């Protein structure tokens, strides 16, 4: 069985290597651009998405998760009375300023973490022994990537809202793009910021019995309290709403969209031309086969097979480089989120560019009479 | 070939064809009547721009005439759709062009096998038929070579083997020797002549290479889109009868 596609690839490897590289890099450009955007969005909603709650109770009608002010403390009983609710925990966070002895001064977001054992304890991504450090009063954790900015060392001290705290350790993967996150226990936070305990905490976190439908429970709780009293949302809903708000508010959506469009155009343009060149170079040969009675469909199949091989190798290369970049980003504390769906869509996209550019190049063959190509 | 030499393999009536570029219109074929029989090597000769290549393309169904009809083995091809026309070319026609148009990636054997494979020959026959075809053009010891390792004459012979392997009733050759030296040109025209005589194919060869005249059964001369002469040389050159394999070696 003669495979013209595969033998072409081997014979003209230089030409196809160029196509594979451009495909891999245009795919990579999209992966990294979207990955960085997702990373930014993720970094913006870290305490929300890393919580172990099934539902978040916030102040009513907020546009972004961090805008919640007060949920009346009296409504806590409502949550407990729902049969699906296994655990309820109040949660606080707030913006405040951070000072160290060496004069570093920085706005931070302070997050009260539940350290009592239970389903709502801690945050995903903070190890149990690291969390245990917070049981010492007035102890905080910060992300290692923020250490320099905060002038923080393990065992060192800082002043938050006028109170002295000890840096008990570092966490990883909690670098926010808004401002540094500082984690402390809910109890310590209550002492640090006494004024937040007035009429209620800014959030309640709920853990549900997995046998109940989350959406149904959400509707029940909304009806029980009335929409003007508090808002109920799953972390995913709240994260999506906050992401949209942030994209619109910061203008990041437009600039990311623009640079991604640029990546697409460059990718399609360069790859398309390279693969097109490979087909055009053999156009007379294809035209001869067509004269001999080979159908256009069979020639298309050859070109598509060729494109699929190029796309396959291009995709593998893309993922290999993406893996390396992802490691590098983690090492440098840059938020880069590469999800399977993003990988899947990019793969489809890269494969489609490869096939389409081959087929478009071949279309010269059936848009003109065979004789014109064989002069 | 099952077609008797009395049946016209190809017949054309009142062919007209013109090309327009911009505002100007050029009439290339101005009413051509021509038929070709199986078992004959016919040369289509004429000066550059006389319309001989266009005529061949129209006769072979590679280009459609503005007016007039072409029939291949009695079947008019004017009304055939693209798919049916391709099928007719597949069953009946072989082509050789001035440039061999071989795929750089494939060995001589694979060039020929690819055509058989794509045109639906039974898998069990492909290898033996490809070998046979290459042997017929005197390349049985060069089958493993890619085009870059072959001479111009050898490449043209691979192109002939590729056209021949389908055992076409009609073989069209457009300037097949113009890029070749005398020895290779001679070899190629002998192969074409043998295909006509031994395989019973109708071979139409467009050329302005006067060296080929002595090998032809019939010479049709075209000028300015019209046939100006149609003759059969009476005494074929004796060295046509030399064994082609002998010449190839």
**pLDDT above 50 (res B91):** yes
Locate the domains of chain B by residue range.
8-248
**pLDDT above 70 (res B5):** no
Distance CA A108, CA A98 (A): 6
Tell me the backbone φ, ψ of residue B141, rounded to 5 degrees.
Answer: -100, 5
Confidence of residue B249 (pLDDT cuts 50, 70, 90): very low
Distance CA A371, CA B163 (A): 16
For residues B46-72, give the mean pLDDT.
90
**pLDDT above 70 (res A197):** no
Task: Kindly state the percentage of chain A with pLDDT values over 70.
Answer: 98
For residues A65-81, give the mean pLDDT.
86
Task: Kindly state the percentage of chain B with pLDDT values over 70.
Answer: 91
Q: Do B110 and A2 touch (CB under 8 A)?
A: yes
CB B69 within 8 A of CB B106: no
What are the distances in angstroms from CA A17 to CA A5, A22, A26, A283? 14, 9, 14, 20
Taking CA–CA distances from A299, the nearest residue in chain B reads B118
Q: Do B63 and A371 touch (CB under 8 A)?
A: yes
Residues of A in contact with B110 (CB under 8 A): 2, 7
Q: Is B5 left (phi over 0), alpha (psi -120 to 50) or beta?
A: alpha
Highest mean pLDDT out of A37-46, A97-106, B60-69: B60-69
State the pLDDT at residue B247.
47
Residue written as token pair 């294809």: A286
**pLDDT above 70 (res B240):** no
**pLDDT above 60 (res B197):** yes
Q: Do A289 and B106 touch (CB under 8 A)?
A: no
Confidence of residue A198 (pLDDT cuts 50, 70, 90): low
- The CB density around residue A318, as the number of other CB atoms within 10 Å, is 25
Q: What is the CA angle A171-A175-A177, rounded to 5?
A: 165
DSSP 8-state code for residue A196: G
Highest mean pLDDT out of A163-177, B71-85, B151-165: B151-165
**pLDDT above 50 (res B3):** no
Residues of B in contact with A372 (CB under 8 A): 63
Q: Do B91 and A371 touch (CB under 8 A)?
A: no
Concatenate the DSSP letters of all residues of chain B into one string: --S-TTSEEEEEEEEEEEEEETTEEEEEEEEEEEEEETT-EEEEE--TTSSHHHHHHHHTTSS--SEEEEEETTEE-TT--HHHHHHHHHHHEEEE-SS----TTS-HHHHHHHHHHHTT--HHHHHHHHHHHHHHTT-TT-TT--GGGS-HHHHHHHHHHHHHTT--SEEEEESTTTTS-HHHHHHHHHHHHHHHHHH--EEEEEE--GGGGGG-SEEEEEETTEEEEEE--SS--GGGGS-HHHHH-
Confidence of residue B235 (pLDDT cuts 50, 70, 90): low
Q: Which CATH superfamily includes the segment(s) B8-248?
A: P-loop containing nucleotide triphosphate hydrolases (3.40.50.300)
Distance CA B191, CA B205 (A): 12
pLDDT, tens digit (0-9, with 9 covering 90-100), for A212-267: 999 999 888 888 877 688 899 999 999 999 888 888 887 777 887 888 788 778 77
Q: Average pLDDT over chain A, rounded to whole? A: 86
Q: Average pLDDT over chain B, rounded to whole? A: 87
pLDDT, tens digit (0-9, with 9 covering 90-100), for A262-310: 877 877 788 788 888 888 888 888 888 888 888 888 888 988 898 899 9
For residues A336-347, give the mean pLDDT.
91
Residue written as token pair 């049981």: A135
Smallest Cβ distance to B103: which of A285, A290, A366? Answer: A285
Range with the poorest average pLDDT among A331-335, B173-177, B199-203: A331-335
Of A230, A217, A228, A229, the closest CA to residue A55 belongs to A217
Q: Any bridge partners for residue A62, and if so which?
A: none
DSSP 8-state code for residue A114: P
Task: Kindly state the percentage of chain A with pLDDT values over 90.
Answer: 19
**pLDDT above 90 (res A173):** no
- Long-range pairs, A308-311, Cβ under 8 A, ≥24: A308/A351, A308/A354, A308/A355, A309/A5, A309/A6, A309/A9, A310/A9, A310/A16, A310/A19, A310/A20, A310/A23, A310/A275, A310/A354, A311/A23, A311/A350, A311/A351, A311/A354, A311/A355
Q: Name every residue whose Cβ is closer than 8 Å to that of residue B200 and which is 6 or more positions away in sequence.
A: B1, B3, B5, B38, B39
**pLDDT above 50 (res B243):** no
Interface of B with A (CB under 8 A): 53-54, 57, 60, 62-64, 82-83, 86-91, 93-95, 97, 99, 101-106, 110, 113-115, 117-119, 146, 162-163, 166, 174
Highest mean pLDDT out of A35-44, A280-289, B115-124, B220-229: B220-229
State the pLDDT at residue B66.
92
Q: In this predicted model, which residue has the larger pLDDT, A177 or A232?
A: A232
Of A293, A315, A246, A236, the closest CA to residue B85 belongs to A293
Q: What is the CA angle A146-A147-A150, rounded to 5?
A: 85
State the pLDDT at residue A311.
92
**pLDDT above 80 (res A196):** no
State the pLDDT at residue B219.
94
**pLDDT above 60 (res B191):** yes
pLDDT, tens digit (0-9, with 9 covering 90-100), for A117-133: 888 888 888 888 888 89
State the pLDDT at residue A366.
74
Q: Do B118 and A298 touch (CB under 8 A)?
A: yes
Taking CA–CA distances from B100, the nearest residue in chain A reads A285
DSSP 8-state code for residue A75: G
pLDDT, tens digit (0-9, with 9 covering 90-100), for A9-68: 899 888 889 888 888 988 898 888 888 888 888 888 888 888 889 999 998 888 888 888
Q: Do A292 and B110 touch (CB under 8 A)?
A: no
Confidence of residue A195 (pLDDT cuts 50, 70, 90): low
For residues B192-196, give the mean pLDDT.
92
**pLDDT above 70 (res A373):** no
Q: Which ipTM did the prediction report? A: 0.84
Distance CA B99, CA B26 (A): 26
**pLDDT above 90 (res B126):** yes
A295: distance to nearest CA of chain B, Å? 7
State the pLDDT at residue A362.
80
Smallest Cβ distance to A292: which of B54, B89, B106? Answer: B89
pTM above 0.80, yes or no: no
């Amino acid at each position: 069985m003669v495979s013209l596609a595969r033998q072409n690839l081997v014979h003209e490897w230089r030409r196809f290597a160029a196509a594979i590289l451009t495909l891999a890099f245009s795919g990579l450009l999209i992966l990294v651009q979207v990955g960085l955007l997702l990373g930014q969005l993720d970094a913006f909603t870290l305490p929300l998405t890393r919580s172990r709650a099934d539902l978040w109770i916030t102040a009513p009608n907020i546009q972004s998760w961090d805008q919640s002010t007060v949920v009346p403390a009296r409504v806590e009983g409502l949550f407990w009375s729902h049969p699906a609710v296994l655990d309820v925990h109040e949660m606080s966070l707030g913006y405040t300023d951070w000072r160290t002895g060496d004069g570093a001064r920085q706005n931070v977001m302070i997050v009260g973490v539940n350290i009592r054992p239970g389903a709502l304890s801690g945050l995903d991504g903070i190890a149990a022994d690291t969390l245990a450090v917070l049981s010492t009063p007035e102890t905080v954790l910060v992300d290692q990537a923020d250490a320099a900015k905060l002038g923080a060392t393990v065992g060192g001290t800082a002043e938050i809202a006028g109170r002295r705290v000890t840096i008990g350790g570092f966490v990883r993967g909690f670098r926010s793009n808004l401002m540094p996150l500082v984690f402390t226990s809910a109890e310590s936070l209550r002492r640090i910021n006494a004024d937040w305990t007035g009429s209620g905490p800014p959030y309640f976190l709920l853990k549900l019995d997995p046998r109940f439908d989350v959406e149904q429970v959400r509707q029940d709780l909304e009806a029980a309290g009335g929409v003007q009293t508090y808002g109920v949302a799953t972390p995913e809903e709240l994260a999506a709403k906050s992401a949209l708000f942030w994209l619109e508010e910061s203008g990041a959506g437009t600039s990311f969209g623009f640079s991604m469009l640029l990546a697409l155009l460059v990718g399609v343009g360069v790859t398309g031309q390279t693969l097109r060149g490979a087909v055009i170079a053999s156009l007379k040969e294809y035209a001869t086969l067509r004269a001999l009675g080979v159908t256009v469909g069979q020639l298309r199949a050859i070109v598509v097979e060729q494109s699929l091989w190029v796309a396959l190798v291009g995709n593998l290369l893309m993922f290999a480089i993406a893996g390396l970049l992802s490691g590098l980003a983690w090492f440098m504390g840059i938020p880069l989120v590469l999800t399977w769906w993003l990988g899947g869509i990019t793969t489809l996209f890269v494969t489609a560019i490869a096939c389409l550019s081959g087929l478009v190049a071949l279309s010269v063959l059936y848009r003109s009479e065979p004789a014109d190509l064989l002069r | 070939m099952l077609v008797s030499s009395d049946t016209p393999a190809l017949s054309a009536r009142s062919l007209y064809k013109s090309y327009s570029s911009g505002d100007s219109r050029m009439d290339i074929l101005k009413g051509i009547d021509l038929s070709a029989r199986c078992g004959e090597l016919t040369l289509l000769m004429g000066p550059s721009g006389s319309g001989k290549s266009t005529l061949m393309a129209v006769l072979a169904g590679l280009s459609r005439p503005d007016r007039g009809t072409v029939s291949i083995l009695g079947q008019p091809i004017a009304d055939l759709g693209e798919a049916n026309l391709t099928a007719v070319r597949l069953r009946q026609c072989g082509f050789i062009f001035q440039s061999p148009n071989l795929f750089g990636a494939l060995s001589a054997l694979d060039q020929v096998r690819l055509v058989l494979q794509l045109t639906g020959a039974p898998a069990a026959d492909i290898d033996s038929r490809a070998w046979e075809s290459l042997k017929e053009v005197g390349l049985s010891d060069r089958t493993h070579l890619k085009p870059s390792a072959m001479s111009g004459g050898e490449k043209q012979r691979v192109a002939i083997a590729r056209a021949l392997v389908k055992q076409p009733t009609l073989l069209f050759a457009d300037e097949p020797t113009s890029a070749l030296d005398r020895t290779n040109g001679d070899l190629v025209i002998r192969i074409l002549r043998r295909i006509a005589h031994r395989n019973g194919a109708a071979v139409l060869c467009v050329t302005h290479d006067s060296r080929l005249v002595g090998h032809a059964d019939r010479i049709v001369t075209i000028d300015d889109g019209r046939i100006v002469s149609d003759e059969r040389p009476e005494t074929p050159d004796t060295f046509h009868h030399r064994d082609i394999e002998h010449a190839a070696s």
